[in-house]
Amino acid sequence: MQALVGTGVALVTPFKKDFSVDVEALSRLVRFQIENGIDYLVVLGTTAESATLSPDEKNLVIQTIIEANNGRLPLVLGVGGNDTAKVIHELQTRDLSQFVAVLSVSPYYNKPTQEGIYQHFKAIALASPKPIILYNVPGRTASNMLPSTVVRLANEFKNIVAIKEAAGDLVQAMKLLQHKPQGFHVISGDDMITLPMILAGGSGVISVIAEGFPKQFSTLVRLGLEKKVDEAYGIHYQLADAIDMIFEQGNPAGIKEVFNLLGLAENTVRLPLVCVDESLRKRLHNFIQNLAC
């Protein structure tokens, strides 16, 4: 799928001070991505604090993004969980007409075996009306979806078209790239190793840092895809400190503080997350000021 090449962003859910969904800020963020070179948008991923959203709030977020996007960028919807039956039910009952694919995380907390992970995604592939992007993020799920399992799924189910690989392991990513079937996309889910993954053959990124610095990071990704290595690494090292900072005290607390400093949205997060402390806020402020110079 060509729509999955380049820079995707995992959109946050902005909240007002009373913790209600801030639809005006969300619309601003969507426009900010479109105007600054982002290639596609991911809706209701982990970065959206989707675990804390009610069904009605999820519907509100989806509708707000669809309306603000107005068909300009491809949309991907996060539909995943550790209850296979519940994931299948959502896939079969939610209106997916505005989305080009779904992003489905490997089951968390249950810690299934590789065979359990395979059977989970087999059931989802047989039920899904849309192409599927697998999502491997061991730091959140407590289990690692091995390259052999990913390649097995990709070979057996043609509607499994990509993986967001966020193990933070470049060797594992290279094994995926070596053994994947033709046309299957390996997408970085780790901002810090996005460029080396692209240079090894990856298709791009689903990013957090790009949401705050879309023009710079999308340019980095395009240069990487064009194999303009020195120029791409120049931008990478320009942003590297910010990548560390936005994850230092949890995601999306860091990137929400960036939006606060840019005047795009409040830095409100829902418990159990908390806002970044004053030290990190000042360091992010200094980074943004220096980047603008």
Cα 200 from Cα 139, distance rounded (Å): 23
Which of the 8 DSSP states describes residue 193?
G
> Contact 47/26 with Cβ under 8 angstroms?
no
Question: Could you list the active site residues?
Answer: 135, 164
Q: Report the relative pairing of strands 101-105 and 75-78 from DSSP bridges.
A: parallel
Amino acid at 278: E
Cis omega before residue 196 (within 30°)?
no
- Residue 5's identity, in one-letter code, is V
**Residue 165 to residue 190: CA distance in whole angstroms:** 7
The rounded distance, in Å, linking the Cα atoms of 219 and 232 is 8
Residue 35: Cβ within 10 Å count: 11
SS3 21: strand
**Eight-state DSSP code of residue 15:** B
